[in-house]
Amino acid sequence: MNAVLRTIDALSGLSGRIAAWIIAPLIFAMVYEVAARYLFNAPTIWAFEVGYMAMGANFLLGAAYALRERAHIRIDVAYSHFPPRIKAGIDVIGYGLVFLPFSIWLSWRLALYAHGSFASGEHTGASAWSPVIWPLRAVFALGFILLSLQAIAELVRSLRMLATGVDPQAS
């Protein structure tokens, strides 16, 4: 089981590194657009779409990494004062009953949505460039699949903590 958890953590780490590198083309596209528009009075037809696609990919591919690192926003006024087993119980309820059913369903629906976009050759229609949209939708599905996998790993760690008292971060 530890090998599976380490593999999921490694996938989340890889997706986080990819998300971080996506910032480079985003910055390039925005700087290029601003220079083209304001210095040369020649705006591009592609920078807007590259910008929102890169930002969406960055956000969704980084979500699993953020969960692994416990970097998501948490309202922990009371949570931070609970002993580890109570925290694990709260996490089991949160991941098992609330988060995972929703994220698994959303992963499935986003994968179907991406497939439909691919099959139909759908384009964005948001600019004159109007590239195909299926790669972005596929990244959205992948991001939620990775987030769901990381949530499963966190659920297993929380269940282990409840059952054995072993620190969930020790695996």
Domain total for the chain?
1
Could you tell me the pTM of the whole model? 0.90
State the pLDDT at residue 1.
85
Q: What is the pLDDT of residues 113-163, one digit of tens each?
A: 999 999 999 999 888 899 999 999 999 999 999 999 999 999 999 999 999
Range of the domain at 156: 2-170
Based on its alpha-carbon atoms, the radius of gyration of the chain, rounded to whole angstroms, reads 20
113-148 burial string, b = 16+ CB within 10 Å, else e? bbeebeeeeeebeeeeeeeebbebbbbbbbbbbbbb
Burial class (CB in 10 A: 0-12, 13-18, 19+), 55: middle
- The burial class, CB within 10 Å (0-12 / 13-18 / 19+), for 25 is middle
Question: At which residue do the structure tokens 């989340």 appear?
Answer: 12
Per-residue pLDDT of the chain (171 residues), as tens digits, is 899 999 999 999 999 999 999 999 999 999 999 999 999 999 999 999 999 999 999 999 999 999 999 888 777 788 888 999 999 999 999 999 999 999 999 999 999 999 999 999 999 988 889 999 999 999 999 999 999 999 999 999 999 999 998 775 654
